[in-house]
Amino acid sequence: MLKTIWQYKGERLRLFHTHLLLNYGFVLFLPFLIVLSFYHYKVTFPIFRIQANLRVWQNYIQPIAVTLLLLFLGCLFSLYVIRRSEQKHGFFYTRKTKQIVTRHLMLQRFLTTKEKKTEKGIKKVEKLVKTYYKHEKEYDTITFDLVNEHFEKILELPKLLEQWLEADLVSSERNREFIFFRFLLDNVSKRMMFSEVKANEDEIVLMNGVKWVYRKIPHGLILAPTGAGKTFLQYAMISAFGKIGRVHLADPKRSDISQFKHFKAFKNLVVSNTEDIFMQYEEAVELMEKRYAYMIQHPNFTIGKDYSFYDMKPEFYILDEFAALVSELEGAKGRLPNGERRKDKYDFQNLLAPLILKARQCGIFFIFATQKATVDVIPSIVRDNVGLRVTLGTVTQDGYTAVFGDWKEKRFVNKGEKMGRGYFYNGTGVPLEFYSPLFEETFDPMTYWAEFPEMPYTDVSHISLDEETKKEVNEYLDSIETIEELEKKKFVREENNRLFEEKEKRIEQIVAGGQSFERK
């Protein structure tokens, strides 16, 4: 009830906050200044009062030495306390943030001018536009009053604020008077180790607090140049998904992923050459049809229910180096030794289309990794229908646009010196800074994958795909397309509402805490 009447926006920023840390530094330095004054009053002054000869230079040695020592210790103490507090995101971290934002706003001339009558005439008084700052654990919220002449400039501020705060914009909300920008801080501390990455029948957690609900928002796209940490992320996904379902791998460049063919758990599940990749995805289409037939023929068949309702294990297809496959397909000409026409990239796109659009409900999911994400590489059927979108390493702005689309409120920044760092979008909210999982120092990939247990799967090989069954499956698929889209939209809406409600609860707790303090 209270939040509908009044909402706590945080501390209002003022122009004097441009020197906030200097002011606090002086306060911390003040005890040393008091001690210094006391010393000079008790020691230095009596010396010069007794010895009236001010030209005796030896009398100055001790006072000067003590003065310099106390000044140095005072400055060192103040600097240490402030810096230490900043590093721990303590009291002075929030003060420095207020100072930084205020300075930038002042330099950008986010000021309002009022005329004030004085005895000497009319005086112009400048004030910062109404801006509020609130810090909540790992989040900073900056709130602006929109009722001023800077309305349009304020709406364009999120990209600048991300740079000023070195934080990620996670939400922006507005009403008729105010706009709230919420930022997530210090994502690197949320980074997980390889062994910590877990998946269940609904989701996979790739970083603390960062999850992909693949069952509701299926399929993924990973863009990463060489050496950006893509292998770490793929290994973590293979490990997590391989414990709850079966993972199929394709690597047209015959690099790291192709080596999984040597491990027992991945026998007959790893392909590299173009013809085998086509065969793998043709088998995926057949598998999809059989799984749908299995669901339809199940005694508890219920329209609209997905694979988990029938206790079916999910199937995951990871295609590494998508751009390399497209490059090979573009150069495909002539015929195979058996006389068949060589498949090209359009054949592969036609093969992908039904899988991307219809495979989710029967529990088949696809993840595509690439070093290049231009329009000629990533087909629109993939780009428009993936739920997970990840970039790692140094990516061009065109690359970010290709993966995430055009986010006007978001600015993507490259930090190439940080291995495995990039951006993550799971279909809800906005893209966030992301760090791929790290291997433990003792991790031995050869031993780990050699000992990896057999992956669980639902056997549907007994399902016969005769003409009648195929017709039944196709009719069912046609009937669920609208349901699929509605379910996806419903999940996204519910997830966004959940994030909003969590924020409102935190605000109520802060308000309640403030009222309790006032009563005391």
The rounded mean pLDDT for the chain is 84
DSSP 8-state code for residue 298:
S
> So what's the pLDDT on residue 517?
35
Q: Tell me: is residue 228 an annotated ligand-binding position.
A: yes
Residue 52 has pLDDT above 80, yes or no: no
Residue 264 has pLDDT above 80, yes or no: yes
List the structure tokens of 515: 């009222």
What's the pLDDT tens digit per position in 210-229?
Answer: 889 999 899 999 998 887 88
> So what's the pLDDT on residue 173?
84
Q: How confident is the model at residue 84 (pLDDT cuts 50, 70, 90)?
A: very high
Q: Find the helix packing angle between 467-519 and 274-296, rounded to 10°.
A: 80
Angle at 310 between CA 308 and CA 315, to 5 degrees: 50
Query: Of 88-92, 97-101, 196-200, 338-342, which range is least confident?
Result: 338-342
Q: How confident is the model at residue 511 (pLDDT cuts 50, 70, 90)?
A: very low
Q: Tell me: is residue 489 an annotated ligand-binding position.
A: no
Query: Of 10-24, 45-59, 444-458, which range is least confident?
Result: 45-59
What pTM does this model have?
A: 0.74
> So what's the pLDDT on residue 363?
94
What's the pLDDT tens digit per position in 449-464?
Answer: 999 999 999 999 998 8
Query: Of 326-335, 432-441, 463-472, which range is least confident?
Result: 326-335
Residue 323 has pLDDT above 50, yes or no: yes
Q: Bigger pLDDT: 405 or 352?
A: 352
Which of 386, 381, 387, 248 lies closest to 313, judged by CA? 248
Query: Of 382-391, 405-414, 424-433, which range is least confident?
Result: 405-414
Q: Tell me: is residue 67 an annotated ligand-binding position.
A: no
Q: Are 285 and 358 in contact (CB under 8 A)?
A: no
**Domains identified in the chain and CATH numbers:** 212-482 (3.40.50.300)
Q: How confident is the model at residue 313 (pLDDT cuts 50, 70, 90)?
A: very high
Determine the residue type at 482: T
Residue 294 has pLDDT above 70, yes or no: yes
Which residues are CB-neighbours of 443 under 8 A, at least 6 positions away? Answer: 194
Q: Tell me: is residue 227 an annotated ligand-binding position.
A: yes
Residue 501 has pLDDT above 90, yes or no: no
Q: Tell me: is residue 261 an annotated ligand-binding position.
A: no
> So what's the pLDDT on residue 494?
59
> So what's the pLDDT on residue 54?
62
Q: Are 343 and 330 in contact (CB under 8 A)?
A: no
Q: How confident is the model at residue 514 (pLDDT cuts 50, 70, 90)?
A: very low
